[in-house]
Amino acid sequence: MIWEPELLDDQAHLVAADPSGMLPAVASAAAQVRTGRRLAAEAGVGVVATEGRPRAIVTLGMGVSGVSGEILRAICGNGAPIPVTTASGHRLPGWIGANDLVFAVSASGATEETLGLAWEAARRGCRLVGVGRPGSPLQALCTQRGASFVPVDAAQGHARAALWALTVPLIVAASSLGLADVPEPVYESTATLLEDLAHRCRPSSDTFINPGKTLAMELAESVPMVWGSSALPIVAAHRLVHQLNENAKYPAIFGELPEAAHNQVAAFDGPLAERDIFADTQGRQLRLFVLRDTDEDERETRTRGTTVRLAETRDVRVSELMAEGRHPLERLATLIGLADFASVYLALGYGIDPTPVSAVRELKARIAR
């Protein structure tokens, strides 16, 4: 596959190469925030507050549904009075029990691992809230256990583009418990920022003024190291790597500061780092992408800045992506929104249909045999 940057401004190509409409699905993020807020209210997720504050909140989910739990944890913040964490895989941690609130999130409502953990949580007597496809096995479980269920249809059939529809109900429930400080107007202001981002990243916008296409250009033909510099950008960096993998079928390395400064930074002296501007650059070379927040403490700013300068002295190219907005939800949403658009444009620049994930489906089928 050859990178053809001119394709990003070829409107006919952008439509033809995206037959399932991943770009429009990504652009639906603002609508998802509004719809998610409405569906959460209709499902009565706030009722969890009437049963008192749980010992802990645990979000169950794989893939995009797992990212929902990461977002919830970041929005609640380190100052949350109880643990807010995630669980995935096939085994529910032994400490989770009847005093805990469990969110089971699955866009399909039929994810094997999530369903298994949700059944185990129910068996242990955990309070349960489900989010997923209406009419799914997950909804059946919630109905059987008398638990709240928020019915979510994936964005135009694209599960991984339905992030905010899956996530907002969790934030609403956590807010009702006093664990997340998200006033009602913030949902609308976040949606407005996402609408503005979608307008700037629209297919008809030329590459040189389109932040999604520009980021795709920087990612192309590189070996991207994607780092978050603090709590919110760490989640967005993880999401960007997932989206590069699934939408663009492109490898990327996730890291978080300060941990990456103790190990991944050593790659700046390795064989993929660019050292000589006159050298043959046919092979893909290391490029550092640092996602950053507008609200950093002194240590975070110092670590990020020093790391970036070190990379530059090693001739490693660096791109810094800044969050927009004031509230943490706004800032995280804008970083994730940019990541989502860039991953789709990267796919389209390589002539790749961003929707199919054939290797994932084949692996699941083999495991199920």
10-residue mean pLDDT profile of the chain (369 residues): values are 94 96 96 96 91 95 95 95 95 96 95 96 96 95 94 80 96 96 97 98 97 98 97 98 98 97 95 68 84 94 96 95 97 98 98 94 87
Residue 276 pLDDT? 61
The single-letter code of the amino acid at 46 is G
Q: Could you tell me the CATH superfamily of domain 28-188?
A: Glucose-6-phosphate isomerase like protein; domain 1 (3.40.50.10490)
Residue 158 pLDDT? 85
Q: Which class does domain 5-17+203-349 fall in? A: alpha beta
Contacts of 200-203 spanning 24+ positions with Cβ under 8 A: 201/27, 201/337, 201/338, 201/341, 202/27, 203/11, 203/14, 203/15, 203/23
User: What's the rounded Cα separation, in Å, for the pair 35 and 172?
Assistant: 12
Residues 6+ apart with CB under 8 A from 284: 221, 222, 223, 272
Residue 162 pLDDT? 94
5-17+203-349 and 28-188 in the same fold: yes
Residue 126 pLDDT? 96
Q: Contact at 8 Å (CB) between 104 and 110?
A: no
Residue 282 pLDDT? 61
Q: What is the pTM of this model?
A: 0.95
Domain assignments of the chain as residue spans, ordered by start: 5-17+203-349, 28-188
Residue 364 pLDDT? 86
Q: How far is CA 361 from the centre of its chain?
A: 20
Residue 156 pLDDT? 62
Q: Contact at 8 Å (CB) between 336 and 239?
A: yes
Q: For 293-311, b where at least 16 C-beta lie within 10 A, e where not — what string?
A: beebeeebeebbeebbeeb
